[in-house]
């Protein structure tokens, strides 16, 4: 390491970023999570200027006039729009910097990527991070970051299994001795469940609802199994599909459960596949240690119960499901071995 690198590292200008399809989190070692905002950008279609990022941009979804485009620059976990991702990252990095009003060296950044992305996709995240203002960038695979963040013994010769259900993708990985030994990544996660709720409410209640209402329903009363504390209902408003007039209806958790059964089953099958592919000794470790369920989608009611029953392995929900990935990236900053194993460029 050069003298300058040493000097900058001493200064402590470091950042960890969880660049998610739904939400972006930024943590600074020693300070914790300093930013947590939706991964959304609003752009003026005429001038191509960025109008708003994060919370402010999300408020515009569904309310934007034709000349304003509101987009999520990441879809299915990878960069769909490079320039907009870079603009978003640059905004978040600047906003998260506690000393942004005085000159500070550019930060060293650890940022996460989904498992199994192509080298072109990795390079895109790397370049966007550098262009957005990083001095050095290290890319860490999401399930590995989640496992480190949750405090699993990733470097030990024992198998740990992580299932991270985000907005766009579900990432399933078996980890041992600091590496990922088996993984599955599927494009069925929170957004698919929202779409399923939307279709089901249309079919069963004859109501047309928007994406945000569908997500609200999923979070409030959605469940993977009968709810142990009692079934729930919720009053919602939408547009009647035949009369086109606004109408209010009370929806039941049993109905919502029927609606999301198919996408949930796809997630179950993928986890079973990954588990069945795992070497018997590692599988024995996982049976003993259990499976960690993380990411926002892990919070779906009764999902842990469904998975425990289907896999016949204890599955538990992390109580820090939203922050495991960014915490793991932050811990990797202090772990030269983890950085050495990550994707980077000199
Ligand atoms: P990403 O890593 O892709 O940014 P997150 O880990 O932030 O995603 O999770 C976002 C997803 O979690 C969204 O689809 C959201 O609807 C879902 N979610 C958040 N809270 C809950 C909840 N209580 N129950 C079910 N799903 C939830
Ligand atoms: Mg995530």
Res 66 pLDDT > 90? no
Report which ligand 1 atom has the smallest distance to the Cα of 169.
3
Classify residue 157 by burial, with Cβ atoms within 10 Å: 0-12, 13-18, 19+: exposed
Which pair of structure tokens corresponds to residue 325?
A: 């990935």
Q: Whose CA is nearest to atom 18 of ligand 1?
A: 296
Name the packing angle between helices 190-205 and 253-277 (round to 10°): 150
**Would you say the CB of residue 295 lies under 6 angstroms from ligand 1?**
yes
CB of residue 323 inside a 6 A radius of ligand 1:
no
Ligand 1 centroid from CA 324, angstroms: 13
The pLDDT, as a whole number, for residue 258 is: 98
The Å distance, Cα 166 to ligand 1 centre, comes to: 5
Pocket test for ligand 1, best of 79, 296, 305, 318 (most atoms within 8 A of CB): 296
Q: Tell if the pTM clears 0.85, that is, is over it.
A: yes
Taking only the tens place, the pLDDT of each residue in 196-210 is 999 999 999 999 999
pLDDT for residue 220: 98
Quick one: which ligand is closest to 296's CA? Answer: 1
Provide mean pLDDT across the span 94-110.
84
The two tokens of residue 326 are 């960014």
Using DSSP's 3-state secondary structure scheme, residue 131 falls into helix
Which ligand sits nearest to residue 294's alpha carbon?
1
Centre of ligand 2 to C-alpha 329, Å, is: 12
- Write out the two tokens for 174: 């078996």
User: Higher pLDDT residue, 138 or 78?
Assistant: 138
Nearest-CA residue for atom 8 of ligand 1:
166
CA dihedral 117, 119, 121, 124 (to 10 degrees): 150
H/E element, 30: none
Residue 76 has a pLDDT of 78
Q: What is the mean pLDDT of the chain?
A: 92
Report the pLDDT averaged over residues 127-136.
94
How far apart are the C-alpha atoms of 150 and 181, rounded to whole Å?
A: 18
Tokens 């000349």 belong to residue: 67
- Residues comprising the chain, all counted: 346
Output the pLDDT for position 346: 60
Condensed to tens digits (0 to 9), the pLDDT of residues 236-270 reads 999 999 999 999 999 999 999 999 999 999 999 99
For the Cβ of 302 lying below 6 angstroms from any atom of ligand 1, the answer is: no
Specify the pLDDT at position 78. 81
Instruction: State the ligand closest to the CA atom of 263.
Output: 1
Residue 8 has pLDDT above 70, yes or no: no
pLDDT-based confidence at residue 7 (cuts at 50, 70, 90): low
Task: For residue 60, name the pLDDT band (cuts at 50, 70, 90).
Answer: confident
Report CA-CA distances (Å) from 79 to 21, 40, 83, 253. Answer: 9, 13, 9, 35
Residue 292 has pLDDT above 70, yes or no: yes
């Amino acid at each position: 390491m050069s003298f300058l690198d040493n000097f900058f590292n001493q200064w402590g200008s470091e950042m960890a970023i969880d660049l998610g399809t739904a939400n972006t989190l930024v943590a600074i070692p020693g300070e914790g999570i300093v930013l947590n905002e939706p991964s959304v950008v609003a752009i003026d279609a005429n001038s191509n200027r960025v109008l708003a990022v994060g919370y402010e941009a999300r408020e515009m979804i569904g309310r934007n006039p034709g000349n304003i485009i509101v987009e999520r620059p990441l879809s299915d976990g990878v960069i769909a729009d490079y320039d907009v991702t870079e603009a978003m990252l640059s905004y978040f990095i600047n906003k998260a910097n506690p000393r942004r009003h005085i000159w500070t060296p550019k930060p060293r950044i650890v940022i996460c990527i989904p498992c199994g992305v192509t080298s072109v996709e990795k390079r895109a995240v790397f370049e966007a991070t550098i262009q957005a203002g990083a001095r050095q960038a290290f890319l860490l695979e999401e399930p590995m970051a989640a496992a480190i963040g949750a405090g699993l013994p990733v470097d030990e010769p024992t198998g740990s299994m992580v299932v991270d259900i985000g907005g766009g993708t579900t990432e399933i990985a078996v980890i041992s001795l600091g590496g990922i030994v088996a993984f599955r990544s599927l494009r069925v996660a929170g957004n698919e469940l929202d779409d399923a709720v939307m279709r089901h409410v249309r079919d069963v209640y004859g109501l047309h609802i928007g994406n945000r209402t569908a997500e609200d329903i999923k979070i409030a009363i959605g469940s993977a199994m009968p709810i142990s504390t009692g079934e729930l209902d919720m009053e919602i408003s939408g547009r009647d599909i035949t009369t086109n007039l606004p109408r209010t209806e009370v929806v039941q958790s049993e109905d919502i459960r029927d609606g999301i059964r198919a996408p949930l089953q796809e997630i179950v099958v993928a986890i079973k596949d990954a588990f069945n592919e795992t070497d018997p000794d590692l599988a024995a470790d996982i049976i003993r240690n259990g499976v960690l369920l993380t990411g926002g989608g892990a919070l779906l009611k009764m999902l842990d119960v469904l998975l425990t029953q289907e896999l016949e392995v204890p599955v538990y929900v992390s109580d820090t499901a939203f922050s495991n990935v960014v915490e793991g990236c932050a811990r990797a900053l202090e772990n030269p071995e983890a950085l050495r194993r990550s994707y980077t460029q000199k």
